[in-house]
Amino acid sequence: MVPQADRQIFALVLLTLVASFAFLAGFTPMWFTLITVCTFGGPHHWMEFRYFLSKLPSRFGPLRPFFITAFSGAAILCLMEIGLMRLLALNQISMPNARTYLCIWNELLISWMFLLSLLRYRSPSQNLKSSILSSSGPALAATAANLLSAQVFSLSVTYLHPLLGLWIFERELRRTRKDWVDTYHWCLLSIPVGLGLLIWWLHDKAMPNTSQQMIASLNGNVIGSQLFTDASTAMLLAVFGFLQMVHYGIG
């Protein structure tokens, strides 16, 4: 049994981190996000890569199709996104065509994840039909959202993907510190509170026009950033920086 004092210290550290990140993101959105991505992005991704390698089995065995699909799909999607961003930067394609290509890229991403879910969770006791039924609901919902607005879907992925780190951290807590999981869940409630305060504080704040390209780059999605022409760029950037720093600090 983990002492109560340890759980309290754990909660205090998490809440202090979230409060500090929200304050800095609201106080100086652009510089906070810029320093966050440039300083912590590389080391964090290296740590994630090492964590991923440590979890790989020594032999793929029956999961070989899953890993081949995962690695090849990730490489292809990454190269396609880089190519699209490069063409946009060189003004080789128009914005309407870019939105069409973005919709196609999103659908390829959804299809890739759907296929991975079938390959990952299928077992001798679970036939292909039940695997498809359990995975098709989220895939269809994502497809509908993508078709309604590829920009919104893409930008949502950009802003929500840092939260995956919170789920991975919870899995590690369940493995090593089960008594901390409930405390961790309560601490996570501070994240929507921080987001709400940032939106309220910065919803009408403007950023200099010279910062637009930097903002688009930091958001990680030039096309999606064009969607919010009436929204506060300071708010969008602060929310992105806050979520990224929570991801780096906790994940």
Q: ∠75-85-226 over CA atoms, to 5°?
A: 130
Q: Which residues lie below 8 Å from residue 80, measured CB to CB, with a gap of 6+?
A: 105, 108
% of the chain at pLDDT higher than 70: 84
Model pTM? 0.75
Task: Read off φ and ψ for residue 207, nearest 5 degrees.
Answer: -115, 155
Tell me the C-alpha distance between 130 and 215, whole Å.
Answer: 44
**pLDDT tens-place string over residues 133-179:** 777 888 999 999 999 988 888 888 888 887 888 888 888 888 888 88
Confidence grade of residue 128 (pLDDT, cut at 50, 70, 90):
low
List Cα–Cα distances, 217 to 38, 83, 177, 198, in angstroms.
12, 15, 38, 21
Identify the DSSP state of 229. Answer: S
Tell me the C-alpha distance between 180 and 10, whole Å.
Answer: 8
Question: If you average pLDDT over residues 35-46, what whole number do you get?
Answer: 79
